[in-house]
Amino acid sequence: MRLETSSWTDVDEASPTTALLPVGSTEQHGPHAPVGTDTFVARAIADAADRESDAESIVGPTIPVGIAPYHGNFPGTCSVSAETFRRYVRDVVESIADSSVETVVFVNGHGGNGETLSHLAREVTAGDTIDCEAYLWEWMRAVDEHVGHAGELETAVLLHLRPDDVGDPVAGDAATWADTVDGGVVRQFTDEFSENGAVGDATEASPEQGERVFETAVDALVSFLERVRSADGDEGREPGGSAQS
């Protein structure tokens, strides 16, 4: 169930113990993909995992703006500082903790958020009010392929989820991130190495490929939720830390 479409009585009756909190970004994704790509994908994965998991879960409100200053030279990109992001997301988590929820899982769709979310998960869990887990951008590693940015895989997922929002796919002005990425964070402005903002060749993308990638990512998150539900924190994850798929 999704929190924003539920009444308070629905939530009270369901008494979910796990909240999935999609965290995205509003940033350029080349000339063919919407700036809300990371947000759309994170929310779709959280919704699907919520439906397929046996966990007593609810999908919380999506955080639509993250840490993306390196895309700032492109119109349409919105970004906040790491500290603003941390404080805001923490407040959301603490308000969720006032309900029946015992565990919050960040379902992150944007690499630039990862480091801050991982630290925040540990910080929140250390407070002993609620357990918090960061399921990071690296869920894409589950497909074991180069992701790029508005490249083949991201565009394929969009063609599967939101085909009407995708323009004519283009090849990026950069084939790979090369040495510009460290831990999911881009260390220079994107337009310095990709004039059109894309990394990878989106012309190879297909809806069928996107469905495969999406289902793989959902399956990986469902497996993680099962570990969170059944383990005491020492199997496949660090308590209050980050998880890799």
pLDDT, tens digit (0-9, with 9 covering 90-100), for 161-206: 999 999 999 998 766 555 556 655 666 778 887 889 898 899 999 9
User: Do 52 and 24 touch, CB atoms closer than 8 A?
Assistant: no
Secondary structure class of 182 (helix, strand, coil) = strand
CA distances from 58 to 46, 79, 169, 177, 211 (A): 9, 27, 34, 35, 23
CA 213 – CA 91 distance, rounded (Å)? 32
pLDDT bracket for residue 129 (50, 70, 90): confident
According to DSSP, the β-strands at 131-135 and 242-243 are: parallel
pLDDT for position 210: 94
pLDDT bracket for residue 37 (50, 70, 90): very high
pLDDT bracket for residue 137 (50, 70, 90): low
Phi and psi at residue 11, in whole multiples of 5°? -65, -40
What percentage of the chain exceeds 70 in pLDDT?
84
User: Do 165 and 158 touch, CB atoms closer than 8 A?
Assistant: yes
CATH class of 3-233: alpha beta
pLDDT bracket for residue 136 (50, 70, 90): confident
Average pLDDT over residues 8-34: 96
Residue whose pair of structure tokens reads 């006032």 in the numeric block: 98
User: Do 30 and 198 touch, CB atoms closer than 8 A?
Assistant: yes
User: Do 104 and 133 touch, CB atoms closer than 8 A?
Assistant: yes
Residue 192's contacts (CB-CB under 8 Å, 6 or more residues apart) are none
pTM for the whole structure: 0.89
- Whether 143 has a pLDDT exceeding 70, the answer reads no
